[in-house]
Every structure is written in structure tokens, then in C-alpha cells.
Amino acid sequence: MRRIAGALLALVALLTVGISGIALGQDKPAGKMPPKVLTIFREYTKPGKAGTVHEKTESLFVQAMKQANWPTHYLAVESLSGKSRALFLTGYDSFAAWEKDTLATQKDKALMAALDHAYAADGELLSETDSTALVFREEYSLRPEVDIAHMRYFEISSYQVKHGHDKDWDEIVKLVTAAYKKIPDAHWATYSAVYGFPETTYIVFNPMKSAAEIDKNFAAGKDFEAAMGEEGMKKLAELSAAAIESSQTNLFAFNPRMSYPADEWVNADPEFWKPKAAAAPAAGKKPAEKPADNH
């Protein structure tokens, strides 16, 4: 399964995907620790096939999950930078819980039939898909518990560490975390790749309530440099040059129409999580628009 059994990202080691303080999965309340296991499925849309066109086919998946009253939920986010893509994120307490959910889905014939129909319609709009599975790294995170129901964006950074430089990476994280502990609002959650990425890939998720936080984060850069000090900044630069193969940061926006949120999220902010749904394609029919060529 895509949302439920799927995973995401195969960005050659430096794209991004993320969540911080995300509480997906089996009805976890908002504000709890991020899930231990995160599966993500990524869809690249063809030119002209994002936006409401994609929302219509994605609504088929949401309808299927609602009709089945499925207990596992997922969050959809869309790219605001980089290539046009949508990420579908599902959290689990363990890999065993992921397997249990997958097997249960496969046994539900009505749900499987509805999902198969949704895949057929959605596939018309896509140029590529990929997936990954990540594990939460609390020791590399800072204040990861957030009220995810009221977040609207993910600033997601990926870092590929050179083989043999694990200790340098540990030192980098310690330096950065120590400095940001002095900045009250700083927070993030870090995951490491298990499947779908090189094993030395780390994904850092910074959730935000509004784009105004981006401006605030830039302003906080001076506070960070002050907390690090001249010698600390010099050491950080040296360690980064030695240990980090590549890195990239991208911005994603939550899309409630493409998500299957937990009830507590909806109850916490119904105006956002229960928007007017896009009209789904009629059963057995393809989307009205003719698919465009691949990139």
C-alpha cells in the first residue's frame, strides 16, 4: 500500500522530506513525540497536473480510508520549492506495527478495490514515484514535541554524511544543538534513513505555523552565531567540510484535502482540516484533463 504500507523519498541523498513533532499513525494525540518509524511515499506530478487536478484523484484515497474507517492516518504535504511533488507521511510505533497495518489492508477486499481504482486514476497524473522508511533519532533532535495540528509548513533538510565520518556528524549535532538550546523557539526532529536512502542520510524536519517563521529563523541566525562564538563557528565549518557530502533544504505546505488526519487534529482545528473537498472523478472514469507529457 502506498500511504499505509508505503514509504517515500529517494532523492539521491539530498532532497528532503520531513516532519518534526509529527504525531501520525494510530491516533496519537497532538504534541507527542514524533513516531519511531516514518514511512513516506513521494509523487512527482507531470507539468500542469498538480493543484486541484491532483487533489481530485487524491480525494479517492481519502474517501476509501474514511469508508473503511481505517485507524491509521497520514499527512500530505506539497512542495513549494524544488520539483513539483507531494509527500504522504505515515507514522508507526515500530516496523511490526507497519507490517500489521499492511497485512490488515490487504485482507480488506473492499478497501483494496477502492485503492486500486484510486491508483489507476492518480497514476495518470504522475511522472515518477518513490518511497523510503526512516527512524526517529531523538539524540539528534531538539524540542521535537509540537502541536502538529496547528502547523502549516515543513522546512525539511537532508544531509548525507560521508562514510567514516559518523563521529564528526555527532560533533556537528552537539555543537549546533548546544547553541540552539539558548534560543527558546528553536525545535526540530531528526530521522535517519533505513530504506530508500543511503544509510548515512539524515532528514531534519522543522514545522512552522506560518511563513513568518521563516523570516524569524533568518533573524535568529545572528543569535546562533553569537551563541557559537568565533571559535565555535570555525570548528563547525571545518567539521561540516570534512563530514557532509551534500545537503539541501526545501519548503513544503500541508494539504488537508489530500490528507487523512486523525480526529484530534480535526477537532483541534476543523476550519483547516475539514475544507471543501475537491470533486472526485466518477467511478471507472479517468480525470477530465488529458495527461501531459513527462518532464
- Reported as a single tens digit per residue, the pLDDT across 98-107 is 999 999 999 9
Q: For residues 275-291, give the mean pLDDT.
A: 49
**According to the model, what pLDDT value does residue 49 have?**
96
**According to the model, what pLDDT value does residue 10 have?**
29
Domains of the chain: 1-158+188-209+248-272 (3.30.70.100)
CA distances in angstroms from 31 to 24, 148, 256, 292, listed in the order given: 11, 6, 18, 41
Q: For residues 275-288, give the mean pLDDT.
A: 52
Choice among 132-146, 233-247, 276-290 with the minimum mean pLDDT: 276-290
Question: Which pLDDT tens digit goes with each residue over 29-68?
Answer: 445 789 999 999 999 999 999 999 999 999 999 999 999 9
Helix, strand, or coil (residue 272): helix
d(CA 97, CA 50): 32
Question: Which pLDDT tens digit goes with each residue over 178-209?
Answer: 999 998 888 999 999 999 999 899 999 999 99
Statement: residue 155 has pLDDT above 50: yes
**According to the model, what pLDDT value does residue 2 have?**
39
Statement: residue 257 has pLDDT above 70: yes
289 band by pLDDT with thresholds 50, 70 and 90: very low
Q: What is the DSSP string of 178-201?
A: HHHTTSTT--BEEEEEEESS-TTE
Statement: residue 148 has pLDDT above 90: yes
